[in-house]
């Protein structure tokens, strides 16, 4: 649960965290829906301000699992598409 104050320091941390998240997603080449991008930005902001709490660790692990599942699903979908196109040629 996010209990961060809405002050200047938190706004700066959020801005930096959003930049980091976008750069990270571009680096690993995984597009995320807006709600997931905002959600992980909040977790990173909490990490920056509160440190590595058990709750932050758990939420980061859930995000990693979400990314892994999405990447696997994407690979499977691409393979299905390629196989389908090969059989129609």
- pLDDT, tens digit only, all 89 positions of the chain: 567 888 899 999 999 999 999 999 999 888 888 988 999 999 999 999 999 999 999 999 998 888 888 766 666 666 677 677 766 65
Quick check: is 45 in a domain? yes
Quick check: is 77 in a domain? yes
Quick check: is 1 in a domain? no
Quick check: is 74 in a domain? yes
Query: Domain tally for the chain?
Result: 1
Quick check: is 62 in a domain? yes
Quick check: is 58 in a domain? yes
Q: Which domain holds residue 41?
A: 8-88
With 0-12 / 13-18 / 19 or more C-beta atoms within 10 angstroms meaning exposed / middle / buried, residue 43 is buried
Question: Among the residues of 34-53, which ranges form H helices?
Answer: 34-50
Quick check: is 3 in a domain? no
Quick check: is 64 in a domain? yes
């Amino acid at each position: 649960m996010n209990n961060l104050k809405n002050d200047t320091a938190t706004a700066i941390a959020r801005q930096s965290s959003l930049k980091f998240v976008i750069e990270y997603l571009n680096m690993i080449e995984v597009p995320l829906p807006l709600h997931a991008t905002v959600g992980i930005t909040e977790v990173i902001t909490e990490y920056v301000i509160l440190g590595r709490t058990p709750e932050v660790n758990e939420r980061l692990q859930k995000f990693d699992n979400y990314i892994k599942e999405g990447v696997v699903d994407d690979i499977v979908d691409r393979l299905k598409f390629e196989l389908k196109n090969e059989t129609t040629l």
